[in-house]
Amino acid sequence: MEDQIWNNIIKRLTGVETEESKLFLDQWLNASEENVRFYEEAEQLWKWTGLLPAAKKIAEANIIIHPAAEQSKRKSFKGMIRYGIAASLAVVTSLSVYYLSKSKSDVTETVYTVHKALNGKVMKVTLPDSSTIWLNAGSEVSYPKDFHAQQTRAIQLTGEAFFEVTHNEKQPFVVESGNLKTIVYGTSFNVSSYQDSQQSSVTVKTGKVGVLLKEDSLSKPTMLLPGNRLVYHRDNGKLETGNIYADEVATWIIGDLVFDQAAPKEVFATLERKFDVEFNLNNASFDGCKLTAKFPNQSLKTILTALSASLHIKVNEHGKTIEIIGGQPCK
Protein backbone atom coordinates (compact mmCIF):
# COMPACT_ATOMS: atom_id res chain seq x y z
CA MET A 1 0.00 0.00 0.00
CA GLU A 2 2.77 2.44 0.95
CA ASP A 3 4.68 1.66 -2.26
CA GLN A 4 1.54 2.29 -4.30
CA ILE A 5 1.01 5.65 -2.60
CA TRP A 6 4.61 6.66 -3.22
CA ASN A 7 4.46 5.57 -6.87
CA ASN A 8 1.38 7.74 -7.38
CA ILE A 9 3.06 10.69 -5.65
CA ILE A 10 6.03 10.31 -8.01
CA LYS A 11 3.68 10.24 -11.01
CA ARG A 12 2.10 13.51 -9.90
CA LEU A 13 5.41 15.22 -9.15
CA THR A 14 6.82 14.17 -12.52
CA GLY A 15 3.67 15.13 -14.45
CA VAL A 16 2.87 11.65 -15.76
CA GLU A 17 -0.09 10.67 -13.57
CA THR A 18 -3.04 8.86 -15.10
CA GLU A 19 -6.75 9.29 -14.33
CA GLU A 20 -6.57 6.17 -12.18
CA SER A 21 -3.51 7.31 -10.19
CA LYS A 22 -4.98 10.81 -9.80
CA LEU A 23 -8.22 9.43 -8.38
CA PHE A 24 -6.35 7.12 -6.01
CA LEU A 25 -4.04 9.90 -4.75
CA ASP A 26 -6.86 12.43 -4.33
CA GLN A 27 -8.85 9.94 -2.25
CA TRP A 28 -5.79 9.23 -0.10
CA LEU A 29 -5.16 12.96 0.43
CA ASN A 30 -8.78 13.56 1.41
CA ALA A 31 -8.60 10.76 3.99
CA SER A 32 -6.56 12.70 6.59
CA GLU A 33 -4.55 15.83 7.31
CA GLU A 34 -1.57 13.60 8.10
CA ASN A 35 -1.58 12.33 4.50
CA VAL A 36 -1.66 15.92 3.23
CA ARG A 37 1.33 16.83 5.41
CA PHE A 38 3.24 13.80 4.16
CA TYR A 39 2.54 14.77 0.54
CA GLU A 40 3.62 18.38 1.15
CA GLU A 41 6.87 17.19 2.73
CA ALA A 42 7.47 14.81 -0.18
CA GLU A 43 6.78 17.62 -2.65
CA GLN A 44 9.20 19.96 -0.89
CA LEU A 45 11.81 17.22 -0.74
CA TRP A 46 11.35 16.59 -4.47
CA LYS A 47 11.78 20.27 -5.31
CA TRP A 48 14.89 20.55 -3.17
CA THR A 49 16.39 17.41 -4.69
CA GLY A 50 15.96 18.94 -8.12
CA LEU A 51 18.06 21.89 -6.99
CA LEU A 52 20.95 19.76 -5.77
CA PRO A 53 24.19 20.26 -7.69
CA ALA A 54 25.93 17.23 -9.13
CA ALA A 55 28.73 15.98 -6.92
CA LYS A 56 32.09 17.30 -8.10
CA LYS A 57 35.27 15.34 -7.61
CA ILE A 58 37.90 17.94 -6.87
CA ALA A 59 41.07 16.94 -8.62
CA GLU A 60 44.39 17.32 -6.81
CA ALA A 61 45.72 19.50 -9.61
CA ASN A 62 42.84 21.96 -9.21
CA ILE A 63 43.44 22.68 -5.53
CA ILE A 64 44.91 25.96 -4.38
CA ILE A 65 45.47 26.11 -0.63
CA HIS A 66 45.12 29.31 1.36
CA PRO A 67 46.24 28.51 4.92
CA ALA A 68 44.23 30.15 7.68
CA ALA A 69 45.57 29.91 11.21
CA GLU A 70 42.98 29.62 13.96
CA GLN A 71 43.52 29.13 17.65
CA SER A 72 42.53 25.95 19.48
CA LYS A 73 39.35 26.30 21.50
CA ARG A 74 37.71 24.55 24.41
CA LYS A 75 33.92 24.80 24.54
CA SER A 76 31.13 22.79 26.04
CA PHE A 77 28.59 21.16 23.76
CA LYS A 78 25.31 23.06 23.61
CA GLY A 79 22.60 21.12 25.41
CA MET A 80 25.09 18.84 27.20
CA ILE A 81 26.41 21.19 29.88
CA ARG A 82 24.84 18.99 32.54
CA TYR A 83 27.49 16.38 31.85
CA GLY A 84 30.08 18.77 33.29
CA ILE A 85 32.66 17.87 30.68
CA ALA A 86 34.10 20.40 28.25
CA ALA A 87 34.84 19.32 24.70
CA SER A 88 38.41 19.84 23.63
CA LEU A 89 38.45 21.49 20.24
CA ALA A 90 41.17 22.22 17.75
CA VAL A 91 40.64 23.95 14.43
CA VAL A 92 43.42 22.32 12.47
CA THR A 93 42.97 23.04 8.79
CA SER A 94 40.98 25.53 6.74
CA LEU A 95 41.39 25.60 2.98
CA SER A 96 39.90 27.21 -0.10
CA VAL A 97 39.61 24.93 -3.12
CA TYR A 98 39.24 26.05 -6.71
CA TYR A 99 37.30 23.67 -8.98
CA LEU A 100 37.31 24.36 -12.73
CA SER A 101 34.47 22.96 -14.84
CA LYS A 102 34.43 23.51 -18.58
CA SER A 103 31.59 23.54 -21.10
CA LYS A 104 31.50 24.27 -24.80
CA SER A 105 30.63 27.94 -24.32
CA ASP A 106 32.25 29.02 -21.05
CA VAL A 107 34.39 28.18 -18.08
CA THR A 108 32.77 28.31 -14.63
CA GLU A 109 34.90 28.64 -11.53
CA THR A 110 33.59 27.48 -8.18
CA VAL A 111 35.56 28.13 -5.03
CA TYR A 112 35.23 25.55 -2.24
CA THR A 113 36.06 25.93 1.40
CA VAL A 114 37.37 22.76 3.02
CA HIS A 115 37.73 22.03 6.73
CA LYS A 116 39.60 18.99 8.04
CA ALA A 117 39.90 17.63 11.57
CA LEU A 118 43.07 15.63 12.07
CA ASN A 119 43.20 12.42 14.09
CA GLY A 120 43.02 13.13 17.80
CA LYS A 121 41.13 16.41 17.27
CA VAL A 122 37.50 17.57 17.32
CA MET A 123 36.81 20.72 15.33
CA LYS A 124 34.05 23.31 15.40
CA VAL A 125 33.12 25.09 12.14
CA THR A 126 30.72 28.03 11.85
CA LEU A 127 29.18 28.37 8.39
CA PRO A 128 28.39 31.70 6.69
CA ASP A 129 24.67 31.24 7.59
CA SER A 130 25.60 30.79 11.30
CA SER A 131 24.91 27.04 11.18
CA THR A 132 27.41 25.03 13.23
CA ILE A 133 29.30 21.86 12.34
CA TRP A 134 31.25 19.77 14.85
CA LEU A 135 33.75 17.60 12.96
CA ASN A 136 34.89 14.34 14.51
CA ALA A 137 38.52 13.23 14.26
CA GLY A 138 39.65 12.24 10.75
CA SER A 139 36.69 14.03 9.08
CA GLU A 140 36.31 16.62 6.33
CA VAL A 141 33.57 18.93 5.03
CA SER A 142 33.53 21.11 1.93
CA TYR A 143 31.06 23.69 0.61
CA PRO A 144 31.01 26.53 -1.95
CA LYS A 145 32.76 29.59 -0.58
CA ASP A 146 30.01 31.76 -2.09
CA PHE A 147 27.56 30.01 0.24
CA HIS A 148 24.73 32.55 0.19
CA ALA A 149 24.58 32.72 -3.62
CA GLN A 150 23.80 29.01 -4.07
CA GLN A 151 20.31 27.54 -4.55
CA THR A 152 21.05 25.07 -1.76
CA ARG A 153 23.40 25.07 1.20
CA ALA A 154 25.16 21.94 -0.07
CA ILE A 155 27.71 20.28 2.20
CA GLN A 156 29.91 17.32 1.27
CA LEU A 157 31.07 15.20 4.21
CA THR A 158 33.65 12.46 4.60
CA GLY A 159 33.79 11.08 8.13
CA GLU A 160 31.47 12.13 10.96
CA ALA A 161 29.90 15.45 11.91
CA PHE A 162 27.12 16.90 14.06
CA PHE A 163 25.12 19.72 12.48
CA GLU A 164 23.08 22.50 14.12
CA VAL A 165 21.32 24.10 11.18
CA THR A 166 19.92 27.63 10.94
CA HIS A 167 16.45 27.40 9.38
CA ASN A 168 15.98 28.94 5.93
CA GLU A 169 12.98 27.79 3.86
CA LYS A 170 14.30 29.50 0.73
CA GLN A 171 17.67 27.76 0.80
CA PRO A 172 17.52 24.08 1.82
CA PHE A 173 20.44 22.55 3.71
CA VAL A 174 21.73 19.31 2.20
CA VAL A 175 24.49 16.97 3.38
CA GLU A 176 25.95 14.52 0.89
CA SER A 177 27.83 11.68 2.59
CA GLY A 178 28.81 8.54 0.73
CA ASN A 179 25.63 7.00 -0.73
CA LEU A 180 23.24 9.21 1.23
CA LYS A 181 21.77 12.68 0.83
CA THR A 182 20.26 14.22 3.95
CA ILE A 183 17.83 17.11 3.41
CA VAL A 184 17.16 19.23 6.47
CA TYR A 185 13.92 20.82 7.63
CA GLY A 186 15.63 22.90 10.35
CA THR A 187 17.20 20.63 12.90
CA SER A 188 20.26 19.22 14.62
CA PHE A 189 21.53 15.81 13.53
CA ASN A 190 24.59 13.56 13.26
CA VAL A 191 25.99 11.98 10.07
CA SER A 192 28.68 9.29 10.07
CA SER A 193 30.24 8.12 6.80
CA TYR A 194 33.90 7.15 7.13
CA GLN A 195 35.43 5.63 4.01
CA ASP A 196 36.81 2.62 5.91
CA SER A 197 33.46 1.80 7.52
CA GLN A 198 30.89 -0.68 6.20
CA GLN A 199 28.05 1.61 7.28
CA SER A 200 26.82 5.17 6.92
CA SER A 201 24.29 6.56 9.37
CA VAL A 202 22.08 9.58 10.06
CA THR A 203 20.73 10.25 13.57
CA VAL A 204 18.41 13.12 14.53
CA LYS A 205 18.65 15.05 17.80
CA THR A 206 16.00 17.74 17.12
CA GLY A 207 13.67 18.59 14.24
CA LYS A 208 13.27 16.46 11.11
CA VAL A 209 15.36 15.30 8.15
CA GLY A 210 14.65 13.41 4.95
CA VAL A 211 17.21 10.87 3.71
CA LEU A 212 17.56 9.71 0.10
CA LEU A 213 19.89 7.34 -1.66
CA LYS A 214 22.21 9.56 -3.70
CA GLU A 215 21.95 7.56 -6.92
CA ASP A 216 18.17 7.01 -6.75
CA SER A 217 16.20 10.27 -6.72
CA LEU A 218 12.96 8.33 -7.26
CA SER A 219 13.35 6.33 -4.07
CA LYS A 220 10.95 6.93 -1.22
CA PRO A 221 12.56 9.34 1.29
CA THR A 222 13.02 8.14 4.83
CA MET A 223 11.79 10.76 7.28
CA LEU A 224 13.60 10.86 10.63
CA LEU A 225 12.41 12.51 13.85
CA PRO A 226 14.27 13.08 17.17
CA GLY A 227 15.84 9.82 18.34
CA ASN A 228 15.44 8.14 14.93
CA ARG A 229 18.51 6.58 13.32
CA LEU A 230 19.00 5.34 9.76
CA VAL A 231 21.86 3.01 8.85
CA TYR A 232 22.95 2.30 5.26
CA HIS A 233 24.82 -0.99 4.83
CA ARG A 234 27.32 -0.59 2.03
CA ASP A 235 27.86 -4.31 1.49
CA ASN A 236 24.24 -5.02 0.48
CA GLY A 237 22.77 -1.53 -0.13
CA LYS A 238 20.06 -2.00 2.52
CA LEU A 239 18.63 0.70 4.77
CA GLU A 240 17.80 -0.01 8.41
CA THR A 241 16.02 2.29 10.85
CA GLY A 242 16.03 2.25 14.64
CA ASN A 243 15.86 4.47 17.71
CA ILE A 244 18.21 5.80 20.37
CA TYR A 245 17.79 8.36 23.15
CA ALA A 246 18.04 11.84 21.61
CA ASP A 247 20.37 12.92 24.44
CA GLU A 248 22.87 10.28 23.26
CA VAL A 249 23.22 11.74 19.76
CA ALA A 250 26.80 12.91 19.05
CA THR A 251 28.11 12.41 22.58
CA TRP A 252 31.50 11.87 20.91
CA ILE A 253 31.78 15.68 21.11
CA ILE A 254 32.26 15.42 24.88
CA GLY A 255 34.60 12.46 24.57
CA ASP A 256 32.18 9.51 24.83
CA LEU A 257 32.51 6.47 22.59
CA VAL A 258 29.44 4.35 21.85
CA PHE A 259 29.54 1.13 19.83
CA ASP A 260 26.40 -0.75 18.81
CA GLN A 261 27.06 -4.15 17.22
CA ALA A 262 30.27 -2.80 15.71
CA ALA A 263 32.91 -5.03 14.13
CA PRO A 264 36.19 -4.97 16.13
CA LYS A 265 38.10 -3.61 13.13
CA GLU A 266 35.76 -0.59 13.06
CA VAL A 267 36.20 -0.16 16.82
CA PHE A 268 39.97 -0.02 16.42
CA ALA A 269 39.63 2.36 13.44
CA THR A 270 37.58 4.68 15.67
CA LEU A 271 40.23 4.51 18.40
CA GLU A 272 42.93 5.32 15.82
CA ARG A 273 41.13 8.53 14.85
CA LYS A 274 40.24 9.58 18.38
CA PHE A 275 43.62 8.97 20.01
CA ASP A 276 45.89 9.49 16.96
CA VAL A 277 47.48 6.04 17.18
CA GLU A 278 47.93 3.11 14.78
CA PHE A 279 46.85 -0.46 15.44
CA ASN A 280 48.57 -3.52 13.96
CA LEU A 281 45.92 -6.25 13.66
CA ASN A 282 47.95 -8.73 11.59
CA ASN A 283 48.13 -11.21 14.47
CA ALA A 284 44.53 -10.82 15.65
CA SER A 285 41.37 -12.71 14.69
CA PHE A 286 37.82 -11.39 15.18
CA ASP A 287 35.86 -12.87 12.26
CA GLY A 288 32.12 -12.58 12.84
CA CYS A 289 32.45 -10.72 16.16
CA LYS A 290 30.36 -7.68 17.12
CA LEU A 291 30.87 -5.32 20.03
CA THR A 292 28.33 -3.26 21.97
CA ALA A 293 29.85 -0.93 24.56
CA LYS A 294 29.89 2.62 25.90
CA PHE A 295 33.02 4.36 27.16
CA PRO A 296 32.14 7.72 28.80
CA ASN A 297 35.19 9.91 28.16
CA GLN A 298 37.63 7.13 29.04
CA SER A 299 41.37 7.00 28.41
CA LEU A 300 42.81 4.76 25.71
CA LYS A 301 44.44 2.58 28.37
CA THR A 302 41.11 2.01 30.13
CA ILE A 303 39.35 1.18 26.86
CA LEU A 304 42.06 -1.27 25.79
CA THR A 305 41.88 -2.99 29.17
CA ALA A 306 38.14 -3.55 28.67
CA LEU A 307 38.64 -4.75 25.09
CA SER A 308 41.39 -7.14 26.16
CA ALA A 309 38.97 -8.90 28.48
CA SER A 310 35.99 -9.02 26.12
CA LEU A 311 37.90 -9.94 22.93
CA HIS A 312 40.56 -12.17 24.59
CA ILE A 313 43.45 -10.18 23.19
CA LYS A 314 46.88 -8.98 24.30
CA VAL A 315 48.15 -5.45 23.73
CA ASN A 316 51.76 -4.52 22.98
CA GLU A 317 52.50 -0.80 22.75
CA HIS A 318 55.38 0.54 20.65
CA GLY A 319 55.03 4.31 20.86
CA LYS A 320 52.07 5.32 18.71
CA THR A 321 51.90 1.85 17.15
CA ILE A 322 49.89 -0.69 19.14
CA GLU A 323 49.98 -4.38 18.27
CA ILE A 324 46.89 -6.49 18.97
CA ILE A 325 47.53 -10.21 19.41
CA GLY A 326 45.09 -13.08 19.81
CA GLY A 327 41.33 -12.98 19.86
CA GLN A 328 39.06 -15.66 18.54
CA PRO A 329 36.48 -15.85 15.73
CA CYS A 330 32.81 -15.60 16.67
CA LYS A 331 30.24 -17.97 15.22
- Please tell me the total count of domains within the chain: 3
Rounded distance, CA 147 to CA 105, Å?
Answer: 25
Give residue 99's pLDDT band: very low, low, confident or very high (50, 70, 90). very low
Q: In what order do the strands lie in the sheet with 321-326?
A: 278-284, 321-326, 313-318
Over 80: is that where the pLDDT of 58 sits? no
Neighbours of 327 (CB within 10 A): 20
Query: What pLDDT was estimated at residue 240?
Result: 93
The CATH number of residue 308's host domain is 3.55.50.30
Residue at which a domain ends, from 229, 248, 267? 248
For residues 323 and 315, the answer to whether their CB atoms sit within 8 Å is: yes
Residues 188 and 136 placed together within one structural domain of the fold: yes
The CATH number of residue 82's host domain is 2.60.120.1440
Domain that holds residue 167: 60-248
- The values of phi and psi at residue 32, to 5°, are -165, 155
Evaluate whether residue 331 is within a structural domain: no
Residues 43 and 96 placed together within one structural domain of the fold: no
Q: How many CA atoms lie within 13 A of 246 on its CB side?
A: 13
pLDDT tens profile 152-162 = 888 999 999 99
For residues 238 and 230, the answer to whether their CB atoms sit within 8 Å is: no
Residues 35 and 155 placed together within one structural domain of the fold: no
Residue at which a domain ends, from 248, 266, 300? 248
For the chain, how far is it from start to end, CA to CA, in angstroms?
Answer: 38
Question: Which alpha helices (H) appear in the chain, and where do they start and end?
Answer: 2-13, 19-31, 33-51, 264-275, 300-311
- Its sign, for the CA torsion 321, 199, 295, 204, is positive
Q: What are the angstrom distances between the C-alpha of 1 and each of 6, 7, 110?
A: 9, 10, 44
Residues 145 and 173 placed together within one structural domain of the fold: yes
pLDDT tens profile 110-164 = 788 999 999 999 999 999 999 999 999 999 999 988 888 888 888 999 999 999 9
- Its sign, for the CA torsion 59, 157, 256, 167, is positive
Residue at which a domain ends, from 188, 220, 248? 248
Helix (H, G, I), strand (E, B) or coil at 323: strand
Q: Kindly provide the b/e burial profile for residues 209-235, where b requires at least 16 CB atoms within 10 angstroms of the residue's own CB.
A: bbbbbeeeeeebbbbbebbbbbbbeee
Evaluate whether residue 317 is within a structural domain: yes
Residues 239 and 267 placed together within one structural domain of the fold: no
Residues 95 and 242 placed together within one structural domain of the fold: yes
